[in-house]
Amino acid sequence: MLTETPGSVQEDLRFYECLDQFWHPVAKESEIGDEPVRVTLLEKRLTIARINGELVALDDRCVHRGASLSLGAIEDGCIRCPYHGWAYGSDGEVIEVPANPAVSESLTVALNRYQCVARYGLVWVSLVEEPVFDIPAFPHLDDPDFRVISCDPYEWDCASVRRLENYVDFGHFAWVHDGYLGSRDKPEVGVHETWREDGALRCEATVVEPPSGKMKKHLSGLGDLITARNEYWIYMPHSVLLDRHFEGGARYVLFMAASPISPNRTKSFWFIGRNYALEPDADSEFLDFEWDILAQDKPIVESLTPDVIPSQLGREMYVKTADAITLGYRQWLTEISEPGPSQ
């Protein structure tokens, strides 16, 4: 669909509108305590709550006057609106209208309730009954060889699909992350295969990087340059698992799941894992390194226009080898956003 915004070019929202077919993370599980919590997914305001121990996602809009239920309270197995006290059960049905209790018997209105589960310490929501793919796999979280940190999520002013693309944009490492993940002395990107496997776009690439950066401090002794084999799983529509294999058996893992708040606002949930330097005191060094990388990316990604990737792929250009994964990703998005999604 095309929408006209005053003073701007037409925006093509096809790659945004198809996102309601998937699971998305909306909060950390630890945020959901005794009070309901408001989140926004695809511009839809939701309240996430634990009712009788069950995690539920409901419309965050009372059917009476539209008050935000996330300002209300959980009590006696229901969620109570803060405005006039209407109470809703975990299925979203009105069970009490305090101003006239007899009314609640005859009311048939209810809040929409959405699929909601906890996985990896995150709350995942699907706005549809049958999402296209499962929640992405993150096996390293349960692997005793790895120490995994659940990091603080961050929000950027960008489209969720552009957030994902930045993660796997091999051509930018030498420029945006010069000295960290690449070098301007060696900006060429080698050939790498991409393929689809179990709901993920796969890619493997061997890279040679500068040894600088706190994350790599523990890999010292490997020489002036570090060689790594990077294995990527891009779970549609925009989660990514990166498993980095260094010489000597050291492995470093990143898992990121982007969550679309709106066409141009994205919240990213992420984890860092490693099978070396396992002492907890080293966590801050890995976190510092990644926050530095994110600070380098953020202004660039937020500057990209149009906000939403054009569904006509020919409106942007692609460099052979360097943009192979971007093109493969967009081709899959194109199929998904057509009626009758492909897997």
In the bound complex, what is the minimum distance in angstroms from residue 172's beta carbon to Fe ion? Answer: 6
Q: Which C-beta is closer to ligand FES: that of 92 or that of 328? A: 92
Determine contact, residues 113/91, Cβ cutoff 8 Å: yes
DSSP 3-state of 245: strand
237 closest CA partner among 117, 166, 135, 90: 135
In the bound complex, what is the minimum distance in angstroms from residue 193's beta carbon to Fe ion? Answer: 22
71 closest CA partner among 95, 91, 94, 45: 45
Q: 16 Cβ partners below 8 Å, 6+ apart?
A: 42, 159, 161, 260, 263, 308
List residues near Fe ion by CB under 5 A.
297
Site string for ligand FES, 69-98 (x = CB under 6 A): ------------x-xxxx------------
Determine contact, residues 22/111, Cβ cutoff 8 Å: no
Q: Which C-beta is closer to ligand FES: that of 81 or that of 325? A: 81
> Which one of Fe ion, ligand FES, none is in contact with 64 (Cβ closer than 5 to 8 A by kind)?
ligand FES
> Which one of ligand FES, Fe ion, none is in contact with 297 (Cβ closer than 5 to 8 A by kind)?
Fe ion
Give CA–CA dist 87/119, Å, rounded: 28
A 10 A CB-CB count for 28 gives 17
In the bound complex, what is the minimum distance in angstroms from residue 71's beta carbon to ligand FES? Answer: 10
Site string for ligand FES, 44-73 (x = CB under 6 A): ------------------x-xx-x------
In the bound complex, what is the minimum distance in angstroms from residue 309's beta carbon to ligand FES? Answer: 39
Residue ranges in contact with ligand FES by CB under 6 A: 62, 64-65, 67, 81, 83-86
